[in-house]
Chains A and B, each alone.
Chain A
């Protein structure tokens, strides 16, 4: 607890004492933080860690340095026209989330219900559960596993630096999760393929092993994704446990567990609506599936509230300020309300309604909309970071910005430097890029170099003229002076933007490029039309 005392006197990244960072946090969150400090404490990890990570938090000057003096922007950037590379992560993630939550909720449903069916000796219900298990295995083991691997693929391609940080931080988190994943696969196959062959006790053990392993996977992954929104004290101590048990972990675990239970039930409704004709059996399935659905809805609300209360200030502000997030939050509340309303109206008050595929499809449809929306919001509120306060959206560490401004953005990037060396070797003086020489190049060359800066600095979040948040329309009708002002003061123009990370000459190059892609002010608008 000595170390815990130190932590209480330490300062978080936002300058507040760590223990009171969440001045708005509730009792449960504080309990979770205390658990982290008291039980796990990180003391053990600290004692065994190399010296440079042993220093008490209050002795470390913020911001923490992630890189050495010779650092440079790290990886090549992948240009995905219109969509932008990170949106591929979103696309695959949403698909995966819709399957993986079912893999958890459906697995727990199968565990509870198979136990129940054995207990009451209902053969029809057991037969249905076997049919559902077949669908479940086919859907979650194939699509769930492959889309999960697909997320690995895309994050490494679209956000390599953030992925590298996450992997170095959480390799053992993922390794532990991997063990649970292996258990899931083996137990799911044993449960389904040996349905009529295993003794009841072993059969039930298999499905419970599956359900609990799947939930354990959820807990670990939710904590890691929570880290992306709130790394807690990790930036100053690099402690695995501090990273894993961050303030966002518990809210997200609660919300995701609730989401899994709810989504599992919605899949069951649809599956039963399509495959079960016996009204009595359908009634049983419906009533049994409604319990976890309602419990899940309550957990989503509780977890969501805790999530909001524990959000970093910038994320809360983004939720309130960004129009698209306003719309999505409204949509999320609306569809969550619709799902709850339909649950009460249908299965609770009018049993049998879900026997029609139409009602079941509607429920699942709104559930999917809600899930997809919440994932989008969860990703979007982190801006301008990929990992909050750790990796900026443009693939650099926050502590690199000042040096990049001093040394030049093109010089600081491995691949930007390579581009200049290849195309403009005359601009290299004593092994370094002289950006003054780039400014005197013909306009098309300056625009091209501005395009290089745009790709590496901006394309993470912005398409060019068409697609996802394109810059061309965003600066439509702007003068070069206005664009230059925006470039030089990015993070103050919008706090969700990363700071400009180049020197003045490079700001000119980027201005040239943005001017070249800016759309003209639409014709025919008053009062210009009158003036003309």
Chain B
């Protein structure tokens, strides 16, 4: 059966935004989401390992990261709404069938997220107990780490299944009753699933490494110089492992699972620059970290800021390339660029105004925080 017949392409309510706008906010939202998501994805596991096996500084970093984690998760969940919204705007005919086929697993993300989130809070509250932290609080941290990895697997499943239209029929036939999906399918037979999942973990390690450098330089002024020097070197190590992982999993993904057509497109004249940049981009922050680790003393704030920005660019390039690969993979079944539009200009303008004003308010709040004295002299007591 032709998989194209499984996609509803006749929805006549036009796209409410220009296609470039949908693409832009989907990629921008995903990039913003990737920063905190990477930190909880690889960071929590790393923090748990360091707490058990790490040096004194390693345990210190573990505690610092886990103390920050509740806010990181809150922001990550918030930023994740943007790509989720725009993927449904642009790719509903692919997104809904894919997630319906694996409904129970997809909805399990919510069931995993709540205990994982509270587990992080429990662990963070337990940090005040120091090394004598209660076992059940440490266990909560480990459970959170594993749950976030499981959520990553489920996300990789849903998003790869969205592109695996050719596999829908078999999954549906094997997981349905009276033609209705049981929601018990997983896209595990898709060779793209595993490298995608692993690739994201490698990328998450690099972000964690970059964050370590940024945190030690900008937010850890109260820590000892030894810690900050250690952090600089350890950041490079984590980043190195992340880059190696990223390149290995990425090679598997690209050369082991991409179709010839996709390779021709991505390595062709049109997109070779983007593909090359996406592959090579992690080397930028890696070199910056390498150079920093070779120098005496702690990492400078300027260099740390550059590392942070370079890592954001890495994630941005990754998001753009993912989006392009998604387009090219699903194009035989569904072409977003051919969808009719009925742009809602006045709501769009109101949104942009609200967005700018909202950012201004957030900027003002952050400015007020930055202006606070380091020791937190209270004016409210």
Is the Cβ of B16 less than 8 Å from the Cβ of A190?
Answer: no
* Residues of chain B contacted by A53 (CB below 8 angstroms): 342
CA distance A401 to B348 in the complex (A): 34
* Residues of chain B contacted by A167 (CB below 8 angstroms): 85, 88-89, 92
* Residues of chain B contacted by A92 (CB below 8 angstroms): 110
* Residues of chain B contacted by A199 (CB below 8 angstroms): 368, 379-380
Is the Cβ of A189 less than 8 Å from the Cβ of B78?
Answer: no
* Residues of chain B contacted by A147 (CB below 8 angstroms): 110
Expressed in whole angstroms, the minimum distance between the Cβ of A53 and any Cβ of chain B is: 6
* Residues of chain B contacted by A169 (CB below 8 angstroms): 13, 16
Is B14 among interface residues, defined by CB-CB distance under 8 A? yes
Expressed in whole angstroms, the minimum distance between the Cβ of B69 and any Cβ of chain A is: 12
CB within 8 Å for A182 and B362 given contacts A76-B181, A196-B380, A415-B179: yes
Is the Cβ of A160 less than 8 Å from the Cβ of B100?
Answer: yes
Is A49 among interface residues, defined by CB-CB distance under 8 A? yes
Is A198 among interface residues, defined by CB-CB distance under 8 A? yes
Q: Which residue of B lies closest to A390 (CB)?
A: B13
CA distance A67 to B13 in the complex (A): 8
* Residues of chain A contacted by B13 (CB below 8 angstroms): 66, 165, 168-169, 238
Chain A: residues with CB nearer than 8 A to chain B?
A: 44-45, 48-50, 52-53, 65-68, 70-72, 74-80, 85, 88, 92, 118, 123, 126, 138, 141-143, 145-147, 149-150, 152-154, 156-157, 160, 163-165, 167-169, 171-176, 178-183, 185-187, 189-190, 193-200, 202-203, 206, 209, 238, 240-241, 414-419, 421-422, 448, 451-452, 454-456, 459
Chain B 341-371 per-residue mask, 1 if CB under 8 angstroms from chain A, else 0: 1111111101100110110011001001100
Q: A71-B8, A75-B96, A154-B107 are in contact. List 15 more A-B contacts (CB 8 A).
A: A49-B343, A50-B14, A66-B12, A153-B107, A157-B103, A169-B13, A171-B86, A172-B347, A172-B348, A182-B78, A183-B361, A190-B369, A199-B379, A418-B169, A448-B178
Is the Cβ of A76 less than 8 Å from the Cβ of B114?
Answer: no
Expressed in whole angstroms, the minimum distance between the Cβ of B78 and any Cβ of chain A is: 5
Chain B: residues with CB nearer than 8 A to chain A?
A: 1, 5-8, 10-17, 25, 71, 74-75, 77-78, 80-82, 84-86, 88-89, 92-93, 95-97, 99-101, 103, 106-107, 109-110, 113-114, 117-118, 121, 169, 172-173, 176-183, 340-348, 350-351, 354-355, 357-358, 361-362, 365, 368-369, 372, 376-381
CA distance A118 to B6 in the complex (A): 62
Is the Cβ of A418 less than 8 Å from the Cβ of B1?
Answer: yes
Is the Cβ of B99 less than 8 Å from the Cβ of A157?
Answer: yes
CA distance A168 to B6 in the complex (A): 21
Contact pick for A71, options B10, B176, B342, CB 8 Å: B10
Is the Cβ of B180 less than 8 Å from the Cβ of A79?
Answer: yes
Q: Give the most central of B85, B182, B358: most A CB within 10 Å.
A: B358
Is the Cβ of A48 less than 8 Å from the Cβ of B172?
Answer: no
CB within 8 Å for A145 and B78 given contacts A75-B8, A183-B362: yes
Is the Cβ of B78 less than 8 Å from the Cβ of A181?
Answer: yes
Expressed in whole angstroms, the minimum distance between the Cβ of B354 and any Cβ of chain A is: 5
Q: Which residue of A lies closest to B13 (CB)?
A: A168
Contact pick for B173, options A77, A118, A422, A459, CB 8 Å: A422
* Residues of chain A contacted by B92 (CB below 8 angstroms): 160, 163-164, 167
Contact pick for A150, options B12, B14, B110, B121, CB 8 Å: B110
16 contacts between A and B (CB under 8 A): A45-B344, A71-B8, A76-B181, A78-B100, A79-B182, A149-B77, A149-B84, A149-B113, A178-B81, A178-B85, A179-B357, A186-B365, A241-B346, A414-B7, A451-B177, A452-B180
Q: Which residue of A lies closest to B82 (CB)?
A: A178
CA distance A517 to B204 in the complex (A): 52
Is the Cβ of A160 less than 8 Å from the Cβ of B180?
Answer: no
* Residues of chain A contacted by B17 (CB below 8 angstroms): 171-172
Contact pick for A179, options B8, B355, B376, B379, CB 8 Å: B355
Contact pick for B180, options A50, A126, A185, A459, CB 8 Å: A459
CB within 8 Å for A175 and B85 given contacts A50-B14, A168-B13: yes
Is the Cβ of B183 less than 8 Å from the Cβ of A157?
Answer: yes
CA distance A77 to B114 in the complex (A): 27
